[in-house]
Structure 1
Amino acid sequence: MARGVALQLLKYCPGFYLAGVSNRHLDGAARMYREAGIDEPVSVTQQQQFDSAVERGEYCIMEDPKLLCACPHLDVIVEITGAVEFGAHVVMDAIAHGKHVVMMNAELDSTIGPILKLHADKAGVVLTNVDGDQPGVLMNLYRYVKGIGVKPVLCGNIKGLQDPYRTPTTQQAFADRWKQNAPMVTSFADGTKISFEQALVANATNMRVAQRGMFGPTVDNGEHIDNAADWYPIDLTQHPTGIVDYVVGATPGPGVFVLGTHDDPTQKHLLEMYKLGTGPLYSFYTPYHLCHFEVPTTIARAALFQDPAITPTFGPCVDVIATAKRDLKEGETLDGIGHYMTYGQCENADVVHADKLLPMGLAEGCVLLRDIPRDSTLRLSDVRLPQGRLADRLREEQNILFFNSKAGI
């Protein structure tokens, strides 16, 4: 994704200056520039060295992201790692230096996005996730539907596969085919990624989930999303906040959709005339999401208009909880997102806090204090958290501010 964003900014978006790329391996950072036709970016290690290079309009690579965050000449920091702890440090450093932050990191955003937004608000900068990825595309569609007077009652994602027991081993061939990282594509297949993404949408719209894990109906034969009103086992017109959810196997995929209602008889008559059906639920959809192609739009919205594409306006509404992918044993250390031990499920944030459930974004590195059967939800009392993590401290701060409680992370 970072390579795609860099290519888009450098070759196809006049008016943007990609001053620097930070990466753990400098050859990876240099590759981003090289693929866009810039063969000799400058390697920098010191702040003054980088700042001077930016003044000259040079392109720079570095290992330390702090150089980017502290540079006085930059407007926006784009964080594209998917790593919660590392991303938390970068985002907080960028905010501290008065930079707008564009995150392509649903894992971080769904875990501690609300508290990061409060820090950004206090600093007078924008914190936003991106257009192009499904949450941002869905948020744009939500705004459109709401803007024409239709009340959104379900924000949905269209998936092609959902199997919580997928692992990097089962997904390796797919990852190789598309030159992707196996754990990353595993997080798509096992439901963790869509859980993070729908939590973002909920936190931006004040929606909830109707049940743990969402409904996620599977439809056969590529049934069109216009029929989605029939796939959910609740009366969506009566839900107090509306819900986030998803569907597997519908067309057009991999898009997003919104179901909405309208109370005005005249408008309902005209919606039927415009071929949206008789209601009470009307289907709106975007048939694709183009990921990195649309990220520059988010950057421009933040820098020029202080307008976030999608941000946790309503605080923690939906969270993602860690669930055992296999039988887990006391003493084991939990591996990362999209690996072998856990998958994520959506749950309403007040339930997560009250029941002291383990957030998926904080699960990596935790040591199990007892055996956990497969498909059991992990609790904070089941694990020992790693020491000294910034993400844990921010999560505690988030709980205090939004739930007025210090009763655990």
Structure 2
Amino acid sequence: MSRISVIGSGFIAKGFINLLYDHPNYILEKILTRTGIEKRSDFPHNDHMTNDLDELIANSDLIVECTGDAIYACETISRILEASIPVVTMNSEFHVTVGSYFIDKGLLTEAEGDQPGVLAMLHEEAIAMGFKPLVYGNIKGFLNHDPTLEEMQYWGKRSGISLDMVTSFTDGTKVNIEQALVANGLHASIVQDGLMGLSDDNMNHGGNILAEKAKELGYPISDYLLSPKLPAGVFLAVEHNENQKDALHYYKMGDGPYYILERTFHLCHLEMMKTVDRVLRGGGVLLDNSTDPTISVTTIAKRNLKPGETIKKGIGSFDVRGIAVKIKEHKGHVPIGLMKDAVIKRPVSEGSELTFEDVELPESLAVQVWKSIEKKVFEG
């Protein structure tokens, strides 16, 4: 039986560990956490917890990483791949920040469950059926670029997720990160900085508008629809050969030229197991950030920032948010995944993009890796 270990001790990790513990074909081996183990009586199967990465590596056949922390994941995944152990992630933050650097260093893949992985699964199905994807679409129920602390504390408590997680969902950072990963991994692009985010309660109508935009641009796009009425899923807007038009009409897909393939749910940690199965059966990578990314998620100030201020964590903060951008049009920008313990060096006005000239970041492997990725983009 394969030994599976997990990095993380948050909402996703908790659900996956409960699922894994009951699995007939796998053994829950170790759980790597940065918290004090003696204080984690709240966490299931905490007797498997460790603070030692070496212990985790030595006892694992596959490791699942789901911290949502790009900088920490950069350090741990680097060590794991050096040990020739495959890694399955639910960490789009890691991928869009530094993931491209690791693609040729071992088996590394994002999992099904979160929207990027589900879109990758839909992509595989669509290609197998002869469809040509034009739009990789996410569905977002609510958006507020600058929510208040009180609002986020209420919704975090009601949803049972962390404050920074619910804030990143609400201010649009998370959907921009997810769609940046989709664009890079599935060789699409974006229409504009921050995505279009059409408000439309009809998936077919909104999907067709986005498909027309993709045809106009001449390449597939990654974007989302904003609607509180649509299901919490994903969709593809696709086209097919004219000789399939009658059959698709018979299958109640409409008259074309664009068709919507929808997945009306995503079950996060429950679906991660499908990707674990895939990897251990030799199925390979589902989704990564590609060796030649074109899209990043830059940092935008939510308020006027003053020299000397410290931003503890960019993703999910009340100081900054992230938007998807084309790397070649934003040279020197600071990816929001690197904004951790960042000290502001000079005034940054509300709504402005932060560059490396604006902030001082702690030294880390992630910062070094990002700079090598950016250099490759511009030199390539």
Superposed displacement of residue 299, structure 1: 1.3
- The 1:62–1:229 alpha-carbon spacing in structure 2 relative to 1, beyond 3 Å, is closer
Query: Counterparts in 2 of 1:330-369, with a 5 A limit?
Result: 330-336=307-313, 337-352=315-330, 355-369=331-345
| AA in 1 matched with 2:367 | D
Does 2:75 match 1:75? no
Query: Counterparts in 2 of 1:126-137, with a 5 A limit?
Result: 126-137=107-118
Q: Which has the higher strand share?
A: 2
Does 2:186 match 1:205? yes
Does 2:286 match 1:276? no
Match of 1:392 among 347, 367, 370: 367
The aligned residue for residue 3 of structure 1 is 14
| AA in 2 matched with 1:294 | E
Does 2:95 match 1:95? no
**Given the two structures, how large is their TM-score scaled by the length of structure 1?**
0.85
Match of 1:22 among 13, 32, 44: 32
The aligned residue for residue 228 of structure 1 is 206
Does 2:215 match 1:237? yes
The aligned residue for residue 270 of structure 2 is 293
- CA shift digits 1:94-114 (9 cap, x unpaired): 011111011111111110110
- CA shift digits 1:13-32 (9 cap, x unpaired): 21011111111221466654
Query: Is the Cα contact below 8 Å between 1:153 and 1:239 reproduced in 2?
Result: no
- CA shift digits 1:303-325 (9 cap, x unpaired): 22151221123531211000011
- CA shift digits 1:270-304 (9 cap, x unpaired): 21222212222211110000000011111121222
Match of 1:181 among 150, 162, 170: 162
Find the aligned partners of 1:28 and 1:255 in 2 and give their Cα distance: 36
The aligned residue for residue 256 of structure 1 is 234
Find the aligned partners of 1:402 and 1:305 in 2 and give their Cα distance: 31
| AA in 2 matched with 1:150 | F
- CA shift digits 1:324-370 (9 cap, x unpaired): 11121122122311011100000122223xx3211111122222222
2:261 is paired with a residue whose SS is strand
Query: Is the Cα contact below 8 Å between 1:154 and 1:242 reproduced in 2?
Result: yes
Find the aligned partners of 2:379 and 2:60 in 1 and give their Cα distance: 36
Q: Which runs of 5+ in 1 are unaligned?
A: 35-39, 42-59, 121-125
Larger Rg: 1
Query: Is the Cα contact below 8 Å between 2:327 and 2:374 reproduced in 1?
Result: no
The aligned residue for residue 173 of structure 2 is 192
- CA shift digits 1:14-52 (9 cap, x unpaired): 101111111122146665444xxxxx83xxxxxxxxxxx
2:341 is paired with a residue whose SS is coil
The aligned residue for residue 404 of structure 1 is 379
Query: Is the Cα contact below 8 Å between 1:168 and 1:183 reproduced in 2?
Result: no
The aligned residue for residue 352 of structure 2 is 376
- CA shift digits 1:239-278 (9 cap, x unpaired): 332110011116542100110112x222123212222122
Please, which moves more after superposition, 226-235 or 324-333? 226-235
- The 1:385–1:61 alpha-carbon spacing in structure 2 relative to 1, beyond 3 Å, is closer
The aligned residue for residue 6 of structure 2 is none
Find the aligned partners of 2:54 and 2:367 in 1 and give their Cα distance: 21
- The 1:197–1:290 alpha-carbon spacing in structure 2 relative to 1, beyond 3 Å, is same
2:76 is paired with a residue whose SS is helix
Superposed displacement of residue 380, structure 1: 1.9
Query: Is the Cα contact below 8 Å between 1:326 and 1:373 reproduced in 2?
Result: yes
- The 1:229–1:296 alpha-carbon spacing in structure 2 relative to 1, beyond 3 Å, is closer
Q: Which runs of 5+ in 2 are unaligned?
A: 1-11
Find the aligned partners of 2:116 and 2:38 in 1 and give their Cα distance: 31
Query: Counterparts in 2 of 1:34-183, with a 5 A limit?
Result: 34=45, 41=47, 60-69=48-57, 71=58, 73-120=59-106, 126-183=107-164
Superposed displacement of residue 228, structure 1: 2.0
| AA in 1 matched with 2:308 | G
| AA in 2 matched with 1:19 | E
Aligned length: 367
2:290 is paired with a residue whose SS is coil
Fraction of identical pairs, as percent:
30
Find the aligned partners of 1:185 and 1:210 in 2 and give their Cα distance: 26
